[in-house]
Amino acid sequence: MWKHVIAGLLSICCACCVFPAWAMTVTFLNPGKSDEIYWVNATQSMEAAARSLGIQLEVLYAERNHLQALIFARQLAARPRFARPDYVVLSNDYAMGPELIRILDAAHIKTFLSFSGISDPKERSRMGLPRSLYRGWLGSLEPQSEEAGYLTAQSLIAKARAFRLNAPDGKLHMLVIAGDRSTTSSMKRNAGMHRAVSEAGDVVIDQEVYAEWNRAKAQEQSQWLYLRHSHARLIWSGNDLMAFGAMEGWRTKGGKPGRDALFSAINTSAEAFTALESGSLSALAGGHFITGAFSLVMLYDYHNGKDFADEGMELSKSMFILFSKEDLSRFRFLFGDVNFAQTNFRKFSKVLNPSIKSYHFSFTQLMNQTEEKK
């Protein structure tokens, strides 16, 4: 019994240390792993935005365990009022967003969906609009994930034509290794990919599988996919880790990624940049890890009297770029090993810049702002 009492007191003390009484406080329920490059980069950019704006930020990693995200939400709701954050930023990964919002709303903690919103029609009908049934659910900010799927597939197809990787039937045969079936960003990336394939007219998708964003699973799946579909030479993946797994599977069978089969990926990991530079990766989109940082800008403005509702409570912004080798060099020059020390997120705030009428949240804009400071 005493162990539980002491643990509870320590939890309260820790929360007090994290959240000084004077600060605007935000907790980010990070759905990813603490060693997963994309979600680490997302956290790093949010920490930079928090420093710029004077926000106290707490980050809790769910480690790709949706049940852990629920545990975190319940723990936040159980904290004493003085130790609760003003806002919780969360993602709808694995369709957990609605339940997280319900838990936190009952505790009168305001929430904001970032990275992945609610698109399922049934869930939307149950949730309603932000600030309606769940009054503390303030809104959402999503990158236009369909754009990432479209850009990478379009580039992959164009390069396959240039390489003349047509099968005996004259078509280009593609394998798809998607993320998961329920996360909004995964579904939208897939939709963008399918749009590019439909427009192309000369591409056949031989099979589509879900690797749950996992490198090892993608490698395992790719090995039997290659045996089953011997004419497939285009492999589209929903993120970089799955692309690396598929590339390893191709090498295992004696193939050479970037030469006798073309691979695409999404995300801005150092490994992805190296693969793009070497040519083993043929198409790469990324930059959307900044969504959380821009979400903090919106919450900062809301907290200081400038409600983003006049622009829309559920915003979707173009944050992806299709990386060329020149873009890659520029990224490295500006951010090095993902260091945002030179980035001034205050420039994106409507409160701090009254001339801003609408938010310009894009990775290109972020690079331009950082370049100006350098």
The dihedral formed by the CA atoms of 180, 183, 187 and 190, expressed in degrees to the nearest 10: -50
| Residue the block writes with tokens 């838990």 | 103
Cβ pair 208, 197 in contact under 8 A: no
User: CB 293: neighbour CB atoms within 10 A?
Assistant: 26
Q: What is the pLDDT of residue 147?
A: 95
d(CA 3, CA 11): 12
d(CA 201, CA 222): 25
d(CA 158, CA 36): 30
* b/e 126-153 (16+ beta carbons within 10 angstroms → b): ebeebeeebebbbbbbbbbbbbbbbbbb
User: Strand runs (DSSP E) across the chain, as ranges?
Assistant: 24-30, 55-61, 87-90, 110-114, 137-143, 172-178, 203-210, 234-237, 262-266, 283-286, 314-317, 321-322
Q: What is the pLDDT of residue 232?
A: 98
d(CA 328, CA 184): 27
d(CA 372, CA 297): 20
Question: Residue 344, Cα to own-chain centre: how many angstroms?
Answer: 21
Sheet of 87-90: strand order equals 55-61, 24-30, 87-90, 110-114, 137-143, 314-317
Q: What is the pLDDT of residue 105?
A: 98
Radius of gyration of the CA atoms of the chain, in A: 22
What does DSSP say about strands 137-143 and 314-317: parallel, antiparallel, or unpaired? parallel
Could you give the maximum distance between any two Cα atoms of the chain, in Å? 73
Domain borders along the chain are 21-143+289-373, 146-266
d(CA 220, CA 344): 43
Cβ pair 263, 203 in contact under 8 A: no
Q: Do 21-143+289-373 and 146-266 have matching folds?
A: yes
The tokens describing 98, both together, are 């609605």
Give me the helices (H) in 83-214, please. Answer: 97-106, 121-127, 145-163, 184-200
The tokens describing 246, both together, are 């598929």
CATH H superfamily, domain 21-143+289-373 = Response regulator (3.40.50.2300)
Mean pLDDT per block of 10 residues along the chain (374 residues) reads: 38 45 87 91 94 96 94 97 96 93 97 92 91 97 95 98 97 97 91 98 98 96 97 97 98 96 94 95 94 97 96 93 90 77 88 94 81 64
What does DSSP say about strands 87-90 and 262-266: parallel, antiparallel, or unpaired? unpaired
d(CA 312, CA 90): 18
Question: Residue 120, Cα to own-chain centre: how many angstroms?
Answer: 18
> Tell me: domain 146-266, CATH 3.40.50.2300, correct?
yes
